[in-house]
């Protein structure tokens, strides 16, 4: 399994979960990375030594394995090299932001067009990839989560205020500025009864976005910085999970919110909107007014939080079960080998 980097972001985290599930079912898994980073420690906690990947040694490396999984389009070149020797999956975790990623990082779109086998994480992502790049073979495999040992389905009742939470990298695609605007335009009496907590790294390449965004303080809006531990406390403290993104191929945050029995509000451009039905709202992308209206509902009807949370937890069991994921992944592997 190959990761493009080892950072505390969604893609490496997802790859770690896949590695754990495969090993848990008796498979031998080795993990490599194109760029070293601190998230390797998380892999090490679960017994995976992360090795540095050398694209010049693909032939030699492939002789040790039956199949290769290259995580994200950043590993596209490696996927093309590896598939010359063994069955290889290019696991794409992006959607409508793919053209921008390819252009900004000087990645040839041929890595998508010519990949023998592509796995993506939602129907939303698949539709975009199919009509844009016409890949050879594409499979949809919804993301999953491994539940921690701690209890996740906890009571969800607002105390004095309803707490909304966003967990995302602070960059334009994540729509955090829209969420802040939505909070600002809440009716005055409702705003007094609400808090917006924001967690996430603020990368230097997005400084032009996040520095002005947080330069001014807003009552009720709190930016807590990057979260590297204590995720369960964050979700248990929250009442509603927000995913206001302009483009999100799936959304681990949405799945985590469901796992912790929290209702959620997501945009139409979030791939994981399949998990929202009776437990929150799917709102127009980029619309602060639509997002604010959905937030207003939960503030004005805080008694609905517990019921919506129970539905979220049931949706998690329905859509994000690790054993169901494993069965579907192995079916894909068997088909391409």
pLDDT number for residue 155: 87
What pTM, to 2 d.p., does this model score? 0.84
- Note whether 89 and 69 are within 8 A (CB): yes
pLDDT number for residue 150: 83
pLDDT number for residue 125: 95
Strand order in the sheet with 68-71: 50-52, 31-33, 2-3, 68-71, 88-92, 118-120, 138-140
Low-confidence ranges of the chain (pLDDT < 50): none
Give CA–CA dist 209/173, Å, rounded. Answer: 10
Give CA–CA dist 4/310, Å, rounded. Answer: 36
Give the H/E segment covering residue 220: none
pLDDT number for residue 281: 98
What's the half-sphere exposure (Cβ side, CA atoms, 13 Å) at 44? 8
The per-residue pLDDT for range 303-320, each reduced to its tens digit, is: 999 999 999 999 999 999
Q: Which of 252, 219, 226 minimizes the C-alpha distance to 122?
A: 252
- Note whether 97 and 104 are within 8 A (CB): no
- Note whether 27 and 293 are within 8 A (CB): no
DSSP helix/strand/coil, 153 = coil
129 Cβ contact list (under 8 Å, min separation 6): 92, 95, 98, 112, 118, 120, 135, 138
Could you give all domains of the chain from N- to C-terminal order, each with its CATH number? 2-144+321-336 (3.40.50.2000), 162-319 (3.40.50.2000)
pLDDT number for residue 229: 80
| Cα dihedral across residues 188, 192, 194, 199: positive or negative | positive
pLDDT number for residue 227: 84
pLDDT number for residue 240: 98
Angle of CA points 314, 43, 11, to nearest 5°: 60
Q: Which token pair is 187?
A: 């009716």
Total residues belonging to the chain? 337
State the CB neighbour count (10 A cutoff) for residue 22. Answer: 18
Give CA–CA dist 256/259, Å, rounded. Answer: 5
pLDDT number for residue 9: 82
- Note whether 164 and 239 are within 8 A (CB): yes
The per-residue pLDDT for range 196-255, each reduced to its tens digit, is: 999 999 999 999 999 999 998 899 999 999 887 888 999 999 999 999 999 999 998 999
Give CA–CA dist 330/307, Å, rounded. Answer: 35
- Note whether 125 and 249 are within 8 A (CB): yes
């Amino acid at each position: 399994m190959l990761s493009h980097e080892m950072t505390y972001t969604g893609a490496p985290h997802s790859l770690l979960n896949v590695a754990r599930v495969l090993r848990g079912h008796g498979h031998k898994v080795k993990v490599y990375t194109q760029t070293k980073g601190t998230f390797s420690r998380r892999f090490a906690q679960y017994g995976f030594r992360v090795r540095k990947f050398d694209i010049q040694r693909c032939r030699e490396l492939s002789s040790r394995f039956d199949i290769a999984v290259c995580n994200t389009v950043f590993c596209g070149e490696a996927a093309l090299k590896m598939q010359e020797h063994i069955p290889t999956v290019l696991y794409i975790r992006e959607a409508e932001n793919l053209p921008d990623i390819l252009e900004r990082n000087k990645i040839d779109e041929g890595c998508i067009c010519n990949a023998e086998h592509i796995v993506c994480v939602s129907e939303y992502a698949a539709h975009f990839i199919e009509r844009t790049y016409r890949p050879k073979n594409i499979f949809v495999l919804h993301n999953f989560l491994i539940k921690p040992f701690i209890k996740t389905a906890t009571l969800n009742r607002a105390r004095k205020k309803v707490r909304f939470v966003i967990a995302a990298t602070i960059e334009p695609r994540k729509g955090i500025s829209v969420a802040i605007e939505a909070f600002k335009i809440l009716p005055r009496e409702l705003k007094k009864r609400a808090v917006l907590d924001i967690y996430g790294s603020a990368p230097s390449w997005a400084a032009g976005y996040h520095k002005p965004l947080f330069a001014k303080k807003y009552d009720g809006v709190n930016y807590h910085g990057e979260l590297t531990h204590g995720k369960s406390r964050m979700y248990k403290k929250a009442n509603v999970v927000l995913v206001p993104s302009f483009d999100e191929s799936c959304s681990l945050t949405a799945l985590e919110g469901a796992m912790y029995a929290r209702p959620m509000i997501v945009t139409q451009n979030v791939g994981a909107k399949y998990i929202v039905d009776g437990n929150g709202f799917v709102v127009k992308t980029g619309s602060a007014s639509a997002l604010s209206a959905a937030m207003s509902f939960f503030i004005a009807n805080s008694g609905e939080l517990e019921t919506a949370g129970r539905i979220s937890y049931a949706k998690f069991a329905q859509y994000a079960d690790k054993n169901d994921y494993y069965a579907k992944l192995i079916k894909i592997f068997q088909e391409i080998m």
